[in-house]
Structure 1
Amino acid sequence: MTVDVGLTHIALAASNLDKSIAFYARYARMVVVHDRIDTETDIRVIWLSDKTRPFVVVLFQLDKPKVILEPLAHLGVGCSSREEVDSLSKQAKEEGVLIKEPTDSGYPVGYWALLKDPDGHTLELSYGQEIGLTIDKT
């Protein structure tokens, strides 16, 4: 059995978990890895993961969640190319969830765009931030 160490999750309230699941599946390639009704609070709780590392976004059902992640606070997702950022941004614009068009901010920030999830939390799509390479250098 592996014991989790380090940063493992962020927890956010969501008013409609099914809408949030669809949003994060579409824009962050995340899937539900855990879904339950909390026995103490009777609140539905889900864990979403992109299955690339032991980290999940925990979403719990609340009728009127307070938006915590709004620019500049955000979740960041690395994309495989600028074209992927562009394609997802175009889709987000068509769906009315694009906050900021793709922008090239150069090294180390890279190419990025901002979207809002169904409750207004911000998701950043990026390419070229080189976070992994930066960590490897330290």
Structure 2
Amino acid sequence: MHPTLTHVALHVPDLEACVAFYEQFCAMRVIHQRVGKGSKIVWMAEPGKEHSFIFVIMPGGQDCQLAADDYSHFGFALASRDEVDSIAVRARTAGCLVWEPRDEPYPVGYYCGLRDPAGNYVEFSYGQPLGPGAEHMPLP
């Protein structure tokens, strides 16, 4: 068997704010929560992906201080450019938009970026050879 990526675990300074962000912007939902080692631990997943990939979110982390030109991020695919624009409008209103929507050559596509409450960047894209519909696109 080869290794399979199943989760990312994050220590965050404000657990509830991060859970709310990933629910609101990423349509993830809490699939498990427990108290472990004296603090609450939350598992979140996209609907239908509960057994393949999750975020484990735990309190106690430091705020990430990423520069605007630091492209470290979590990436979420969307079904259209309009959906990217819609996320950007919501994020601008919420004060967490860090990359305005922009077009880049294939395979990057059309995307925008948000800052989660812990300081992590989250990209929302359309037109990459990843995510829904990507099986019909050539790889770079």
Q: TM-score, normalised by structure 2?
A: 0.83
Could you say which residue in structure 2 is the equivalent of 1:133? 135
1:35-94 deviations in whole A, cap 9, x for unaligned?
A: 1111xx2121111100343100111011x5252877311100001111111011011011
Aligned-residue Cα RMSD (Å) equals: 2.3
- Give unmatched runs, 5+ long, in structure 1: none
Cα distance in structure 2, aligned partners of 1:79 and 1:69: 24
Identity level (%): 35
| Structure 1 residues 10 and 68: CA distance shift in structure 2, 3 A | farther
3-state SS in 2 of match to 1:93: helix
The residue correspondences of 1:47-66 to structure 2 (distance < 5 A) are: 47-53=43-49, 54-62=52-60, 64-66=61-63
Cα distance in structure 2, aligned partners of 1:97 and 1:80: 22
1:11 aligns with 2:12: no
Give 1:22 shift. 1.2
Give 1:108 shift. 0.9
The structure 1 segments of at least 4 consecutive aligned residues displaced by more than 4 Å after TM superposition are: 134-137
- Give unmatched runs, 5+ long, in structure 2: none
Q: TM-score, normalised by structure 1?
A: 0.84
The residue correspondences of 1:1-138 to structure 2 (distance < 5 A) are: 6-38=4-36, 41-53=37-49, 54-62=52-60, 64-67=61-64, 71-131=70-130, 132-133=134-135
Aligned residues: 131
